[in-house]
Amino acid sequence: MGRSIVRRVRLPFVAVLAGALVLAACGSSSSGGGKGGGGGNTGNTSTTAGAYGTLPAQVGTPKPGGTVSYGIEAGSQPTYIMPITPGADSSVYDASFQYLLYRPLYWTPEGNRAIIDPDLSLAALPVYSNGGKTITINMKQTYKWSDGKPVDAQDVLFWIDELRAAVRENPANFGNYTKGNFPDNVVSATAPSTYQVVLTLKRSYNPNWYTDTQLNIISPLPSTAWNIASTGGPHLDFTNPANAKKIYDYLNAQSKKVATYATNPLWQVVDGPFKLTSFSATTDANTMVPNPTYGGQKPVFSTLKAEYFASSTAEFNAMLAGKLSVGEVPADDLPQLPRLKSQGYNVYGYPDLGFGYIVFNFKDTTDNWDKIVGQLYFRQALAHLEDQAAIVHGAFHDAAAQDYGPVPAVPATAYVPSNAATNPYPFSVADASKLLSSHGWKVVPNGTTTCVSPGSGPTNCGAGIPAGQKISITIPYTNDPPVAGQETTQLASAAKQVGINITPVAKTFNYIVSQYADPSAPQNDNKWQMENFGGFSTDIYPTTDEIFNSGGSFNQGGYDSTEANTLIKNSKFSSDPNAVEKEASYLTQNLPALFTPNEDRIYAWKGVSGPPDSFANLTQFAFTPEFWFVTGK
Amino acid sequence: MIAYLLRRFLSAIIVIIGIMLVTFTMLHIISPSPARAVLGIKASPAQIAGFNHAHGYDRPLPQQFLTYMNQTLHLNFGFSFKLNQSVTDLFKENAGRSALLSGVSVTIAVLIAVPLGIFQAVKRNSVADYTLTAVSFTLYSMPIFFISLVLIDIFALHLHVFPFEASQATTVVGVLKNPRSMVLPVASLVALSVAGYSRYMRSSALDNLAQDYIKVARAKGLSERAVLWRHLVRNSSLPMVTLIGLSIPDLLAGNLITEQVFNYPGLGLLFFNSLGTEDYPILLAYTLVGGILVVLGNLIADIALTFTDPRIRLT
Amino acid sequence: MTSLIPGMPGHDRDRLTALEPLLSPPDAGEVYEQGSGFKITVKAFAENRLALVGIGIVVFFLFFCYLGPHVYHSNQISGNLGANDLRPGPGHPLGTDDNGFDELGRIMKGGQAALEIGLLTAMIATVVGTLWGAVAGLVGGWLDGLLMRIVDVGLSIPTLFVVLIISARYSATVLSLSIILGLNAWFVPARLVRGEVLTLRERDFVSAARAMGSSQTRQVLRHLIPNALSVVIVNITFQIADAILTVAFVGYLNFGLHFPQVDWGDQLSDGVNYLGDGYWWLIYPVGICLILTVMAFNFMGDALRDAVDVRMRKR
């Protein structure tokens, strides 16, 4: 496409932004582990290793008034307002929109650090007891709904009951729902006092996992204003499941009426920093004004305006013309940054937590591929053929960080394993060649490498690989954005030099993830050997549960390792605070996939200023404009 | 005549049903359900199943097609998943802007092509004729997006005379208030069409110039201008109607690319964006609308043709 | 009617040309000299200077694309991502592309695929279309109606839609691209040939053949096809030009050849991504090559058409 419409290499993970670094629980977690970490913002212009550009310090003092404008693009518009978002409407953009009005219980990130921000959360960090089966949440008492009622434990219970009703009706009613996880794993939720919630779980989990991936989706709802099943109807007791269902159906139906978002009195009951004053039914463009009853930092400017753009190019063009306060810079347009800077924009980029990867298909049995790719030395050889430095420079214009495993060194987190700092398989055609030839392959550069020493000994090709076996790989890659093609082409070019024949094939993103996926399309298992659709954004507790464990819903390639399964299980269920590190360390070394560089999310802003963290968090898909003020420059 | 129209109408209905059948089948063969595209990669199989059941994607294919036909007959074009609006509303929103772009472009193209073609015919094989032919052919041989992008490169990025995207106004009136931003998109579409139209006009004018009635008119002593205006233009122009009718599909496609390149929020850009998000209702509706326009265009063209030469038997 | 080139209405003239035989009632008297295809071609080129220019350009590009790589060596196997998007300079007269390949060498390689796809598409479209149209015109009756309705449906579905749907499922190789484009392009030759057949079968020599008892098949093979050949020849040339343009169009939508293959269309469409970044060497050189080649075929086709028209209309 002339201009990409979907810009993300990775599809942003639905709404799950929260996570916790549970400093209390077992003590030994450190912040900013690994080389290149420690992205502390010390007030002055801060340089974080791996960041693109620098964060400016706050300029001047907050002055009231002014308008802050940002862009929303076609296909990434907020389309659902009630904080139990169906899968079809779930996206980071919809979540950002909701969070301006309705704050979640736990807020992530803190600046560009993927941890829970205690200041912006509505409760203190959860306390685990009773062998991890009881969770006590003490809410802050400073937040109120705009109708005067406090944000309290009942509001949390209300949300939980409504969520139960929603997913019981249809699992697709909540995008973040996986059967067996929240709320299924909660036996009971009670409120022993006004501001205290106690959850009892079916079994114990790793507290970091539970806080960062389960509790982070909680979003309190106004239990005394929204517990109705018809407009102007009586307030119902939501603890009764039949009532909860009626209430959910009503709220859901109201939330489908996009044209009424700004006028429906339901949505005027907010606990966030803004309230909605207008909302366009056709473009979802909207305007908000400050909410004077917000319990946190109240915005000092007068209007927050979301403007609609038919494509990301249109939005970028508007930025080039100086017409937006803040917006994302698409990776393709990086060469045009000087023009943007000449308009007075500040530019900053940082990767969000996640990884890029080229998937190995372990289930393709044609031509003995599964036997070949099952050999670790072969995967290592391929890893040596990937030139991450060239990819970062040539494909990402230096706006990316190298990534060797599911938890990369950048962005810095507490879970970075020790082998994330240096590439365990650096780019070297010679090393790849040596690996192959020392395992019974006759390497023919620019020709066809064949197996000459079949067998399962240490110098043989491996069990099930016959003599004369060639290596022919088809790699479907997403045609948009172009970096996937460049990564795949680079791999193919390098592979040719050791006689491995790679054929890249361009497909649409949707096609690849739906048709070339072992969990959902096993009938196609014999049609692809590797694939490149981007990668994943993870929770702030970056376990690869569901991605690399056997039977995981997104284990596209059918990777099956007993050791990995145990480590992933530990990340989820054991009480070891280093479980994720161990899991990531193993996966970095065992190569369930080829890991590719982590793209920087780059944002530009002008005419506004504020604390550096309130801009740094843009890179983590968070949006907290309430800290900003208009400088007019 | 009535019989002819009735037969054509019936034939048109069959063609339209054929279009619907083909596009419906193609879409579903390629991707049986947009569930994965809509719900995202992290959707669980249970959620996919729930979505499919709620929207009828798990029914047998013939049944789905009948439902689709039934809905279309009731003018219910469905609901866009990604944009959270009814397709009818979306089309109403965007059709006006697209029609404006195409309509203005075609009008300007015709106004240029007719005199240009006649001029070339009258001055056949002169230097001017050859030059204009060469320019025509150059434009004719360019990919659509290339013309647009070259215009942007020269006039927007280097000379800064025009903006690099079309008007983003939400109403047709709003667009009209910002004519400068529409110059380049209109110019691209005009450049594409003028080449073909003027070549045809030239050819048609040449035919007529060789006709006896022109010789008679000249012999009568009419001034060249009167000859040209009263006889030539009138007789050469009706075929233009035919040509315009037949170029509807090209207009649609040209419009689509131009809207995409210039970010003009019309039907074409809507279709383009829907391809990426697998928004089936919009894709199906757009193809249907396009098909109907094409069939209508053909009908108008054929009727115009009969007026050109009453000897044609309409079959 | 969808011509292969979106936004290029000129080729609808082919359709009108098809109707023109119907404009004048079948002539039962004089039989025109049916020059052989070769004679027509030679005559066309002798009379029309632009056609000679066209041939010259095509010959030049054949040398450039097929012999060029033997003269100018560049590494087209292993890219160099670290040295991508370099400006023209020492070692790379036209710079490097997105993956680090030498651009000049890439253009040579791309031309091979462009020409091959153009030729292959034209052949597929012509063979299928000619047979379809001949059968329809010859057999007549309800079969004719059915075959032509299918052609109508094909003409009414936007090429763009078909290509994008198919591109999601199948990958692009020279062969698959030619087949898909060819199957989208056979509708026009089908109509043309049917029109020719309808006219020709009323002519004396066919009646004579029938009177002598020759079978339908013989009629088709011996008499009709060779006489319809002139129209087909004209159409082939335009088909080649259209195909090359459509490949560019389709590449713009990301369904084109990718590494290790390459063709001009993709190069151009990949290059225009960088218009805003000022990487002109990825855009203009390839664009000029493509436009010149398409123009060359259009010149030749135009000259051939003039020659055929002259024969038919005694102008």
- Whether A446 contacts chain C with CB within 8 A: yes
Residue A486 sits at the chain C interface (C-beta within 8 Å): yes
Q: Do C2 and B249 touch (CB under 8 A)?
A: yes
b/e map of A295-318 (b: 16 or more CB within 10 Å)? bbbebbbebbbbbbbbbbbbbbbb
Against chain B, the chains showing at least 3 CB pairs within 8 Å are A, C
Nearest to C157 among B210, B287, B313 (CB): B287
> Which chain C residues touch A335 with a CB distance below 8 Å?
274, 276-278
| ipTM beyond cut 0.90 | no
Q: What is the distance in angstroms between the Cα of C277 and the nearest Cα belonging to chain A?
A: 6
* Average of per-residue pLDDT across A555-580: 94
CB–CB contact A497 C269 (8 Å): no
**Distance between CA atoms of B148 and B185, rounded to whole angstroms?**
7
The answer to whether the CB of C141 falls within 8 A of the CB of C111 is no
User: A496 and C99 in contact by Cβ < 8 A?
Assistant: no
Gap from C161 CA to chain A (nearest CA, Å): 14
Domain ranges of chain B: 90-275
The token pair at A119 is 């200041």
CB of A472 within 8 Å of a chain C CB? The answer is no
Query: Best interface-test mutation with A: which of B41, B94, B97, B172 has the largest number of A CBs within 10 A?
Result: B41
Q: What subunits touch chain A, counting only 3 or more CB pairs under 8 A? A: B, C
Strand A629-630 to A303-309 pairing: unpaired
Between chains, do C172 and A506 touch, taking CB under 8 Å as contact? yes
β-strand pairing of A303-309 with A326-328: unpaired
Does C168 contact chain A (CB < 8 Å)? yes
Beta bridge partners of A144: A150
SS3 (DSSP) at A303: strand
Which phi and psi (to 5°) does residue A602 adopt?
Answer: -110, 130
Torsion from C-alpha of A52, A542, A272, A74, nearest 10 degrees:
60
Q: What is the 3-state secondary structure (H, E, C) of A531-564?
A: EEEEEEECCCCCCCCCCCCCCCCCCCCCCCCHHH
B289 interfaces chain C, CB cutoff of 8 Å: no
A window 551-570, beta carbon within 8 A of B: 553-554
Q: Is the CB of C252 less than 8 angstroms away from the CB of A482?
A: no
Q: What are the backbone dihedrals phi and psi of residue C202, each rounded to the nearest 5 degrees, phi first? A: -85, -10
**Which domains are seen in chain C, by residue range?**
38-75+96-308 (1.10.3720.10)
Give the residue carrying structure tokens 């198919």: C166
Q: What is the pLDDT of residue A533?
A: 93
Q: Residues of chain A with pLDDT > 70: what percent?
A: 92
Distance CA(A204)–CA(A197), nearest Å, equals: 18
Query: Measuring CA to CA, which residue among B192, A52, B26 is closest to residue C8?
Result: B192
Residue B44 forms contact with C (CB below 8 Å): no
Q: Do C248 and B250 touch (CB under 8 A)?
A: no
DSSP strand E in A332-440: where?
A: 346-351, 354-360, 400-401
Predicted confidence at residue B77, as pLDDT, reads: 85
Q: What is the pLDDT of residue C216?
A: 59
Instruction: Return the top range by mean pLDDT from A308-322, A446-460, B49-63, B64-78.
Output: A446-460
Task: Give the Cβ contact number of residue A139 at 10 Å.
Answer: 24
**Which residues of B fall within a CB distance of 8 Å from C12?**
196, 243, 246-247
Largest CA distance in chain B: 85
Asked whether the predicted pLDDT for residue C163 surpasses 80, the reply is no
User: A509-534, pLDDT tens digit by residue?
Assistant: 878 888 899 988 899 999 999 999 99
How far, CA to CA in Å, does C89 sit from each of A51, C85, C92? 32, 12, 5
For residue A2, which residues of chain B lie inside 8 Å, CB to CB? 145, 149, 260-261
* Burial of residue A372 (number of CB atoms within 10 Å: 0-12, 13-18, 19+): buried
Residue of B18, A496, A27 whose CA lies nearest to C156 = B18
Confidence of residue C226 (pLDDT cuts 50, 70, 90): low
Q: Do C9 and B291 touch (CB under 8 A)?
A: no
DSSP state of A299: P
Contact at 8 Å (CB) between C273 and A2?
yes
Which of A507, A509, A514 is the best mutation test for C, with the most CBs of C within 10 A? A507
The helix/strand/coil state of B123 is coil
How, if at all, do strands A303-309 and A274-279 pair? unpaired
CB pair distance less than 8 Å for B18 and C272: no
B272 touches chain A (CB under 8 A): yes
The confidence score (pLDDT) of residue C122 equals 94
- Report pLDDT for A76: 82
- DSSP conformation letters of A110-153: BTTB-S--TTTSSBPPPEEETTTTEEEEEB-S--B-TTS-B--H
Mean pLDDT score, A584-598? 96
> Does A109 sit behind a cis peptide bond, omega within 30 degrees of 0 on the bond before it?
yes
Chain C interface includes B144 (CB < 8 A): yes
Specify the pLDDT at position A21.
Answer: 18
Q: What is the pLDDT of residues A321-362, one digit of tens each?
A: 888 999 999 877 888 888 888 888 999 999 989 999 999 999
Instruction: Measure CA C213 to chain center.
Output: 38
Among all residues of chain B, which has the CA nearest to that of A552?
B44
Return the SS3 of A58.
coil
Average pLDDT along chain A:
87
How many Å lie between the alpha carbon of B66 and the closest alpha carbon of chain A?
25
CB-nearest to B290 from C158, C268, C283 is: C158
Q: Is B224 on the interface with C (CB under 8 A)?
A: no
- List own/partner pairs for A440-444 with CB under 8 A and 24 or more apart: A443/A498, A443/A499, A444/A499
Residues of A in contact with B82 (CB under 8 A): 75, 79
Alpha helices in chain C (DSSP H): 12-23, 37-47, 49-62, 68-71, 103-139, 141-156, 159-169, 174-185, 187-200, 204-211, 216-218, 225-252, 264-272, 284-313
Nearest to B18 among C15, C22, C153 (CB): C153
Burial class (CB in 10 A: 0-12, 13-18, 19+), B179: exposed
CB A626 within 8 A of CB A420: no
Tell me the pLDDT of chain C averaged across its residues.
Answer: 77
- The DSSP letter of residue A64 is -
Whether residue B85 and residue A173 make contact (CB cut-off 8 A), yes or no, is no
For residue B188, the surrounding DSSP H or E stretch is helix B183-209
Average pLDDT over residues C233-262: 83
Cα(A530)–Cα(A527) distance, rounded to whole angstroms? 10
**Residue A495: exposed, middle, or buried by beta-carbon count in 10 A (0-12, 13-18, 19+)?**
buried
> Nearest by CB to B253, which of C6, C24, C165?
C6
Q: Could you tell me the sign of the dihedral formed by the alpha carbons of C294, C299, C300, C301, in that order?
A: positive
B residues 249..268 contacting C (CB < 8 A): 249-254, 256-257
CA-based nearest residue in chain C for residue A317: C276
Q: In chain A, what's the furthest Cα-to-Cα distance?
A: 80
**C63-79: b (≥16 Cβ within 10 Å) or e:** ebbeebbeeeebebebb
Burial of B120 (0-12, 13-18, 19+ CB in 10 A): buried
For chain C, the chains sharing at least 3 beta-carbon pairs closer than 8 angstroms are A, B
Encode pLDDT of C29-84 as tens digits: 333 444 555 676 677 677 777 788 899 999 999 999 999 999 988 888 888 888 88
> Residue A32 pLDDT more than 50?
no
CA angle A358, A359, A360 (to 5 degrees): 125
In contact, B219 and B231? CB cutoff 8 Å: no
Chain C residues within 8 A of A1 when measuring between CB atoms = 252-254
Q: Which ranges of B31-86 does DSSP label H, i.e. alpha helix?
A: 35-39, 45-55, 61-73
pLDDT of residue A37: 28
Q: How is residue A422 annotated by DSSP?
A: S
Spell out which residues of chain A touch residue B89, defining contact as CB-CB under 8 Å. 281-282
Give the distance from residue C152's alpha carbon to the nearest chain B alpha carbon, in angstroms: 7
Distance from CA of B167 to the nearest CA of C (A): 19
What is the predicted pLDDT for the residue at C116? 94
CA distance B291 to chain A (A): 24
- Of A336, A490, A507, nearest to C99 by CB-CB distance is A490
- The architecture that CATH gives domain B90-275 is Orthogonal Bundle (1.10)
**How far is it, in rounded angstroms, from Cα B140 to Cα B133?**
10
The torsion angle over the Cα atoms of residues A89, A94, A95 and A99, rounded to 10 degrees, is: -130
Q: CA A450, CA B158: separation in Å to the nearest integer? A: 55
